[in-house]
Chains A and B, each alone.
Chain A
Amino acid sequence: DIQMTQSPSTLSASVGDRVTITCRASQSISTWLAWYQQKPGKAPNLLIYKASSLESGVPSRFSGSGSGTEFTLTISSLQADDSATYYCQQYNSYPLTFGGGTKVEIK
């Protein structure tokens, strides 16, 4: 199985800050990576697919980059509404696997 490791597990930042979350794969997954946002009590919501493609309707302050084993999700200017947990997911091979999540808190 491909292991996905996210860091940090929690981060606290102020409105307007640039925030970066990292996701590392235990083996190369090319660009077969998605990012999701999950707010408390809600289902996950797709933000990014194929490592850097923005899902329709997602604000442009979200962006993704990377390939191979290292990926990042960046929020260019953090908003209060971005308080959530973020997960990466690889879809290079079965079983599909998710990272452990990064909880983003607003200071």
Chain B
Amino acid sequence: EVQLVQSGAEVKKPGESLKISCKGSGYSFTNYWIVWVRQMPGKGLEWMGIIYPGDSDTRYSPSFQGQVTISADRSINTAYLQWSSLKASDTAMYYCARRAAVAEYFEYWGQGTLVSVSS
């Protein structure tokens, strides 16, 4: 069974750093792209970027380029989303999802990680 399990909720202060994770199981982790999607409170879905764990090829949405870093550690089947300096506007639910083998839609999703940033 394909599963994506995300790390737990985080409460942070503005300016702090953060790295959240997404661990894949039940499939060959290195062979499928992993995407990160933001959902701000009460809002819609936003595509942040995508990584291919096999070679760490990464693409970012222009809206998020330079604001976050996406990475992966294929030895432990885990993808990451990190911030070096959080802002209050980063408060959101963040989802990882696995891309389909042959096209850019998303078949399997993690449960989400809620990030709250407040002074």
- The total of Cβ contacts below 8 Å across the A-B interface reads 57
Option from A1, A46, A95, A101 in Cβ contact (under 8 Å) with B105:
A46
| In the assembled complex, B88 has its CB within 8 A of some CB on chain A | no
- Which residues of B sit under 8 angstroms from A45, Cβ to Cβ? 109
A50-107 at interface with B (beta carbon < 8 Å)? 50, 55, 87, 89, 91, 94-101
Interface size class of A (residues with CB under 8 A): 20 to 34
- Which residues of A sit under 8 angstroms from B16, Cβ to Cβ? none
Which residue of B is nearest A46, CB measured? B107
Number of interface residues of B (CB under 8 A): 22
Give Cα A18 to B111, complex, Å: 30
- Which residues of B sit under 8 angstroms from A89, Cβ to Cβ? 45, 47, 105-106
Please report whether the interface of chain A is mostly helix, strand, loop or mixed according to DSSP: loop
Give Cα A38 to B95, complex, Å: 12
In this complex, the member of B59, B63, B104 whose beta carbon has the largest number of chain A beta carbons within 10 angstroms is B104
Q: A43-B112, A49-B100 are in contact. Are A98 and B107 (CB under 8 A)?
A: no
Contact A91 B110 (CB under 8 A): no
Q: Which residues of A contact B (CB under 8 A)?
A: 1, 32, 34, 36, 38, 43-46, 49-50, 55, 87, 89, 91, 94-101
Option from A36, A43, A49, A97 in Cβ contact (under 8 Å) with B111:
A43
| In the assembled complex, B46 has its CB within 8 A of some CB on chain A | yes
In this complex, the member of B97, B105, B106, B107 whose beta carbon has the largest number of chain A beta carbons within 10 angstroms is B105
| In the assembled complex, B103 has its CB within 8 A of some CB on chain A | yes
- B26-60 near A? 1/0 per residue, CB < 8 Å: 00000000010100000011110000000000010
- Which residues of B sit under 8 angstroms from A43, Cβ to Cβ? 95, 97, 109-112
Which residue of A is nearest B60, CB measured? A95
Contact B47 A97 (CB under 8 A): yes
Which residue of A is nearest B112, CB measured? A43
| In the assembled complex, B61 has its CB within 8 A of some CB on chain A | yes
- Which residues of A sit under 8 angstroms from B62, Cβ to Cβ? 1, 95
